[in-house]
Structure 1
């Protein structure tokens, strides 16, 4: 927040890619409003009062107050102060309606609420299932780190998600656009980028308003409540345990098969119609994946009801009259699906990329070290080309040249041009 106050939103974290109220000016106004609300919320948490916040933004030299000072220049100080006070009042109400994370226990409570929201949100399509994997992987990392901010590289994230690096990068961009993820920095040559997982859901839903307040005239002009969908329902813990396995690669069971197992792990005994909602998949996809899971012995069918085998999460199927050849582990399932070795090949490729980058860094470091050593100019007067009396010598013959002398910049200087030409 200190960086945001002094330097402004350099990474466009609070900007909106769509001009819902129309025009470039309104987009800039919405950007400044979101940034000011974020600063106001942090100022409320650290104990500022409203007068101090108004003075810092309007009278201070900080870049975050550029929009407020523009309003002051065009409409006067009172209008600018009113604009900042409105942002302060909204941020104060938001802070009062949320619980502050002050300990590790309170963070885990907030993370559990966020996990419940993710599990009960429909993630439709291939991109939706990929984003679900991304969030599940990041929630696992945040559980270990004990905070919303975490460090992970694209390659490590791809290995956790069970997808390619390009797919993980595209998913990151979608989550950044959806304001579920924020990039703190881009990392270094030896460490991954730092990210922050953003939870849009707190103990109570809060309104999000624009600088115009709750007025008519656009999708962003009124308050909107964030509510979870009650139809979708999966077990993210089961999905986190399975999504990196070869059996759930793109050409294997994929994200839809993972969603079916996660939905049945959360609540067994569902029909195809119920799985369409809980797993957020289409009817043809549900029938196709259920048929494959039944053939593997991982899903049991009784009439129209489907349920997992006793140890399906562990990859152990159950022989059925229709499918006597069940799988005994997930590696066997990957062999039967034709995706065995996908994760290992991905890890070897990533290790090769890392090793190549280490060699490239070493080469660049050696090149910089060589370049940092000072090389004399061809015209520099080197000590080995001078005799004891300081007279220049010909490096080829060793003869003295009276027509040369050393200037103040330590370079050769000829007394006349004819001697230079003859030399």
Structure 2
């Protein structure tokens, strides 16, 4: 169950300083019981402090104003930042153990506990009121963080959580072509998470595109427009070098219905309110598909964008989960429009994958052999389907799409690795700042930064050959060049959006 149960430890609890009577009657045995209920790492952190320097990273150095060099922080400021991180870590440990804010305060203010040295310093310098207010703020942040996470007790618990997430994905409607594409990308990440043994997993865009049977541009659009805003995926770390990006699967708590922009010129007659037309949405609010079958079919060439597409994937997976459905049922279980459902059913029937008995549709007996089978008495074994998906891809004109995609990705990987090896062969010298006996590395000047001798007052750029400012060019705050075109009439917000899109494209290429 998720941590942060309001009944067990609420951030709204009041802080009260221990009375003198309780201080006198409290013994060491009481403190040992409190520490014994915490993990060993938490007890060591409280009693001994941060001996390994785990929470000291970034506390004693920061980037300069220009963002180009690392400057050391003052000793007092660095120690304060380090102590705050230790205090926050202890608060998270207490929150995960279903403790209270009063217990946290007593643990931090115990004189023998090195982990509470920062809170004790605040108490001595600013008094009880400031110390209580500081611990209260840390506690609220810790409860919010712990309450948004889930405890993992065993590997079986992980598989149960992923199975529950798969069931939630299957019951969520994914309307529109954008939603169906996002479903394929999400199922690819779900398969990666199952292999990794948890929601945290590593995957590159190329790997995801090959698993989902989509292009990298389509995968990137699904990330930005549906999965990230909806809370289904979160990128924890951008991939660099030979390492892919690190992702975390969410529960989609922020998921909103995917809205499809209507055309300006439409051929449909608008609804008549007097006749109560179009009184309800065309698709239902719940879906019912077999995501396992969908995940196994989506990398095939037959379901590429110019082939059967994502709508056929949803219909096949819905008919595999619940055979004998009419068109209205399929519209409800797949969340696709009526026109798309009828068009896709006719195409699947022409290929011999589905048949109709009156108004009911069902899969042919051996349509999904080797992937899944809707017959109860059938035993699913890895085998070649009767029709053959290669033949379906050839009839749809999409044969060889997956092979060409993998070849293009392999060429991109080879070019990127060659560029990395070229850069590694020409290392740049980095300056080193010594602070409190530790070495802090200062990043060297990058190749796209201009030398300081080119800088001019007002942000202008000096031509080294003439010594005169170059019109149309400026120096950004990060030391890079900016070219301002006379025809460029974009606003600052538009330029910021364009810059973010360029950074995102560069990170995805890397």
TM-score (norm 1): 0.60
Alignment pair present for 1:363 and 2:422:
yes
Distance 1:4 1:182 in 2: 24
Contact 1:183 1:195 in 2 (8 A): yes
Looking at both structures, which has the greater relative contact order when contacts are Cα pairs under 8 Å and sequence separation is at least 6? 2
Contact 1:297 1:327 in 2 (8 A): no
Distance 2:418 2:144 in 1: 53
Distance 1:366 1:249 in 2: 41
Alignment pair present for 1:257 and 2:309:
no
Contact 2:174 2:183 in 1 (8 A): yes
- The corresponding residue for 1:346 is 405
Query: Once the two structures are superposed, what CA deviation does each residue of 1:173-217 show, in whole Å capped at 9, x if it has no partner?
Result: 23222222122211221111111112358xxxxxxxxxxxxxxxx
Of 211, 235, 247 in structure 2, the residue corresponding to residue 195 of structure 1 is 247
Query: Once the two structures are superposed, what CA deviation does each residue of 1:216-262 show, in whole Å capped at 9, x if it has no partner?
Result: xxxxxxxxxxxxx8731000000011001111111111111111111
Alignment pair present for 1:281 and 2:333:
no
Distance 1:241 1:335 in 2: 19
Contact 2:214 2:304 in 1 (8 A): yes
After TM superposition, give the deviation of residue 266 of structure 1 in Å: 0.7
Distance 1:277 1:39 in 2: 49
Contact 2:233 2:249 in 1 (8 A): yes
Query: Once the two structures are superposed, what CA deviation does each residue of 1:138-187 show, in whole Å capped at 9, x if it has no partner?
Result: 11111111111111110000000110011111222232222221222112
Which 10-residue stretch deviates more, 165-174 or 117-126? Answer: 165-174
Alignment pair present for 1:160 and 2:211:
yes
Distance 1:353 1:250 in 2: 22
Alignment pair present for 1:120 and 2:175:
no
| SS class of match (1:177) | coil
Of 267, 274, 279 in structure 1, the residue corresponding to residue 322 of structure 2 is 267
- Call closer, same or farther: CA 1:43–1:335 in 2, change over 3 Å: farther
Q: Alignment length, in residue pairs?
A: 290
Alignment of 1:14-413 (within 5 A): 43-46=94-97, 49-51=100-102, 100-173=151-224, 174-199=226-251, 231-314=286-369, 328-368=387-427
Contact 2:101 2:136 in 1 (8 A): no
Distance 2:330 2:173 in 1: 12
After TM superposition, give the deviation of residue 101 of structure 1 in Å: 2.0
Contact 2:307 2:398 in 1 (8 A): yes
Distance 2:231 2:400 in 1: 35
Distance 1:116 1:38 in 2: 34
| SS class of match (2:362) | strand
Ranges in structure 1 where 5+ consecutive residues have no aligned partner: 9-36, 63-71, 202-228, 317-325, 371-423
| SS class of match (2:202) | strand
After TM superposition, give the deviation of residue 315 of structure 1 in Å: 8.3
Ranges in structure 2 where 5+ consecutive residues have no aligned partner: 1-52, 60-87, 109-115, 120-125, 254-283, 372-384, 430-510
After TM superposition, give the deviation of residue 366 of structure 1 in Å: 3.0
